[in-house]
Every structure is written in structure tokens, then in C-alpha cells.
Chains A and B, each alone.
Chain A
Amino acid sequence: MTALLSAVDVQRFYRRGGIFRRGERLHVLKGATLEIGRGKAVGLVGRSGCGKSTLGRILLGLERPDWGSVFFKGKDISAKDGGEFAKFRKSVQVVFQNVQGSVNPRMTAGEIIGEPLRNFFGISKREAVERSRPLLEQVGLKGSDADKFPPHFSGGELQRVCIARALAPEPEVIVFDEAVSSLDMVVQARVLELVQKIRDERGLAFLFISHDLRVVAGLCDEVALMDGGVIAARERSVATLAKTGGATIARMLESLPPAGPGERAFR
């Protein structure tokens, strides 16, 4: 069976700064290959700056790889024409870490969630806002919240609005890029519960990008470790990854904060 969404041997370079001379070239992805199966929750873990978000953006079609390709349902996305690409965009949605930065403060929650509905289903603005209300209820907010503006939501509530927006076009994959990292612990736990619920009810495929192994362990069917610009290891759980992932995963595990005072919890 072909994977739903996959990156094959993807390479990506960036040029760093450099105002007066050409910046130094950074080889961020050095041939990364990652597959996301239908309905599978895949965790992508790694140190910050290892390129995991870049791979996420390439899988989303937000950035083009310098080498290698991204396949959606077996077809190269760079070969897709306008209509087909729109279908791909509808099927692959994203939730980012920076919630305030990923919503327009001048739009109501209803309009924010309604935007993809209008884009992909060609419905009127009013209808889109009405259809946003049940979505808001699904993510644990009230239908009447559709008329509120972003500054009136807390960080956790706004992240729910972003999740509702990602769910709106009925996608097949959602990429969560550090989606709970900037939330406080209680709110983070609630948002994770919501993500679990959506996973169980809808059978969506997830790519969950995080540097926090604790978050990924509870959520994912498979865990991939990114290290040195490639997917260094891929296993069914963090525990098995701990045995095969080498020094990087060992360091990530031992640096997790302990479960309680006086404990050295994770090894």
C-alpha cells in the first residue's frame, strides 16, 4: 500500500544572513525520507534546529525541496496542476506553535474557521460562519464564540480555534508543528486530550512535530527521530526508539524533567 503522504530523499539548503557578502550555506535536510500512512499518528522528534519543522513545511507544500520529492497518494505534488494542488492543500492541514501569529486579529473566530470552508467549498461568508459553530463545539468551545475576536481568547482557546480551522476542510492529514509547546501545562494537557479525541473519532493521519518526548509518547503510533538532517531512526514507540536511536535520543530522554522531586525518572 502506498503511504498517504511521504517525503522521499528530501534535501534542503538555506543561506544564512550575510548583508555584505554571500551568507554561509546551511545543509539542513540531507536526504530525509518519511512516510505517513493513512490514519497513522507519526511523531517527529529531534533537537531544536535539526530540521524537523523544515521537513514539516516541505510535506505541507509550503516550501519546495532542493532535491527529492513529496508524494501525496502516490503522486508527486510538484507535478500537480492548479486544481489538483488545491485538493492536496485541502487534504493536508497544519496547526502551528505560534497561535497569535497564525490568526488574523481583525477576523472573528467564525471568519477564521470559515476561510478554508469558503476557499474549498465556495460557500458564502455567512454560511461559512454558521458552519464554524459546530466545529467550535467539537474543539470544546462554544458556538457563540464564532463572533469573538482573537484577543478575547486565551492561548489555549486560540489553539483550539486553529485546530477547528485545520479540521474545517475535512483533511486527511494534519501536521502539528510544536502545537502545544507554548501552552502552559494544564492547557497543554487539555489540548492533547482534544487531539487524541480527534484522532480516535476521525481516523485522521497526524504528523506531530515536537522536541518533547513526553508529548509524543502518549499520542503516536510511530516515532521518527531526526538527527543530522536525516531520519536517523523510526520505531513503534519511544521505548524502542530509545534502544535504537543512539546518543541523541538517550540525551533527550535523560534531560527530561523528572516525574517527581528527588527522582531521576527517565533513562
Chain B
Amino acid sequence: MKALLEVRGLEIETAARPARELVRGASFSVFAGETTCVVGASGSGKSLSCLSVPGLLPPGVRKTGGEVRFRGERIDNLPKEALRRLRGTAISMVMQNPMSCFDPVFTIKSHFLETIAAHERLSRREADEKMMSALAEVGFDDGAKILAAYPFQLSGGMLQRVMLAMALSLDPALLIADEPTSDLDTVAQARVLDLMDAARRGRNMGVLLVTHDFGVAAKMASSIVVMDGGQVVETGEAGAIFAAPVHESAKALVAAHEKLCAPLAAEGVEV
């Protein structure tokens, strides 16, 4: 099967001199209808690797090597405008901090309309319908109330669901989620992850999920990419990595996760 997204030999450096290597030769792929989790400690280069896919590296950091292929075609050397069109419609993103991704002086509706208007020409009624159905998909029955709300009137979990609705509204083939639930409590986290997984199944969408939490990877991943010090140190099917991690840092991550789960299991909470 051909990969939906294929990243080969990705190199990322700081733009300042002397340049510091942040990602060295990272390779990974995402298949349609599957979730690839990029797991690693903080500072391992996992977020940068994923941000570079839609060309969204932060200022001061640049890609110096490697290639990114989406549906078999290179997208890392596309002109800006072509890449902009690709974002949203083909590749969507959900970021970590929902509070800082919304502007507090605008309603959810104006954020949502901005996203849609950037990619499609729709009548007001069509746009309304689109927003309502996207919000319904992420579990909001009262979509109109959510659209009228300001970001600070919603909880972090609700905002993250709105962000997911916006990302899904343009029917992307690939969803990139960078630590989407790290700021949420466990109940809100489960809700967002379940919705994301349902969308993946329903649309045969590929998901690239960045997380430091092996529990999240256990729940979501078909395959896992372990990063450490800017390099991909281990790639494999999720079950295999959990059962027998090879690289030191993969072992450390699995061990930390097992240790975190152990006390509850020992209390007999596990079924």
C-alpha cells in the first residue's frame, strides 16, 4: 500500500549562526485510515518534524534537507500559494494550546468562517450548514450557541473540540495533531481522542499525532515513531513497540508509562 504521507531524511536546523541541528534524518510515514503517533521526550524534535509537513516551521528554524511526499508528490518545495491551498483542504492541524489559538475578541463563528472562507466560496446558508454539521460531528448539539460564544466562555476541552471541528470541516485527507490533549484533564482528553478516532474511521483519514504520553499512543496508534535527540530511533507497529522496545529511550518511555499505570492496576482497578 502506498503511504498518504511520506517523510524521508528530514533535517531541521536553527537559522541563527552557528546553526544547531534540531532534527537529523527523520523518516516516517502515515497511511490513509491509520494513526501514526510520534512519541518522544520534550525537546526530541517531534513537534518540529510534524510542523514541517505543512510548511509551518516557526521563525528562526528552517528545513535544510529531506523530502516530504503527500500522495506520492513532493510538497516541501511547493510555492507558498500552492502550499496554502493544500493546508486546510488536504492537510489540517490541531494545535496543543486551544486558549492561545483563538482570538478572545472574536466569536467562534468568525474564527470558523475565516477558515472556511480561506478555502471555499460558499453562500452564508451553506457556510452555516457546514459549521453546524461540523460541530455536531464533535458532539455539540447546540451548535448555534457555541458559534455565538467567545473563546473565553468555553472550557479548554470544548475549545479543542471546536478546533477539531474546524480542522475536519474542510474534509482533509491528513490530520496533524500536535499534543492536542496535553492541556486537558483526562475526561476531556478521552472525549477529544475518541472524536478524532471516529473521524479517522468515518473518513478514512490519516492521522499524525504527536504526544509524549504513551497511554495516548496506546489508545490511538497503529504505528509508533519514537524520537530522541532529533532522530527517529525506533519505528514499528504499536503492539510491537509496547511489547518489546529496543532503543534505550523507547524503553524508558514504555517503562515510565508502565510505572504510571502500575499502582492503579495493583489496587485492582484494572479489569
Contacts and interface: CB of A to CB of B under 8 A. Distances in A.
Interface string A222-258: 0000000000000001110010000000011111111
A258 B219 CA distance: 6
A30 B214 CA distance: 37
A239 to B, nearest CB: 4
Nearest to B267: A239
Interface stretch (A57-65, A163-171, A179-187): A179-187
A266 B269 contact: yes
A186 B269 contact: no
B43 interface: yes
A183 B269 CA distance: 25
A259 B258 contact: yes
A62 to B, nearest CB: 22
B264 A189 contact: no
Interface in B107-124: none
B69 interface: no
A215 interface: yes
Contacts of A154: 42-43
A182 to B, nearest CB: 8
Interface in A153-200: 154-155, 182-189
A1 B190 CA distance: 42
A204 interface: no
B41 A187 contact: yes
B43 A255 contact: no
Given A185-B213, A211-B185, A262 B191 contact: no
A260 B187 contact: no
Contacts of B145: none
Nearest to B222: A261
B260 A213 contact: no
Contacts, number: 124
B267 A217 contact: yes
Interface in A116-146: none
A178 to B, nearest CB: 10
B93 to A, nearest CB: 21
B253 to A, nearest CB: 6
A258 B262 contact: no
B186 interface: yes
A189 B242 contact: no
Contact of B186 (A256, A258, A260): A256
Contacts of A80: none
Contacts of A267: 269-271
B256 interface: yes
Contact of B239 (A49, A155, A237, A261): A261
Interface residues of B, number: 46
B218 A255 contact: no
A201 interface: no
B66 interface: no
Contacts of B263: 214, 217-219
Nearest to A178: B185
A82 interface: no
A254 B41 CA distance: 26
B242 A213 contact: no
Given A189-B260, A211-B186, A258-B219, A266 B42 contact: no
Contact of A259 (B43, B157, B238, B265): B265
A217 B264 contact: yes
Contact of B238 (A218, A256, A261): A261
A16 to B, nearest CB: 9
Nearest to A186: B256
A221 interface: no
Interface string B229-257: 00000000011001000000000110111
A212 interface: yes
A79 interface: no
A212 B187 CA distance: 9
Interface string B207-223: 00000111110110100
A83 interface: no
A253 B155 CA distance: 21
B264 A266 contact: yes
A47 interface: yes
B216 A257 contact: yes
The 5 closest A-B pairs by CB, nearest first: A257-B215, A255-B190, A218-B263, A211-B185, A239-B267
Given A214-B260, A254-B190, A266-B270, 14 more contacts: A47-B187, A48-B155, A154-B42, A155-B42, A183-B42, A186-B256, A188-B260, A238-B269, A239-B269, A255-B189, A257-B190, A259-B215, A265-B265, A267-B271
Interface of A: 17, 47-49, 154-155, 182-189, 211-215, 217-219, 237-239, 242, 251-267
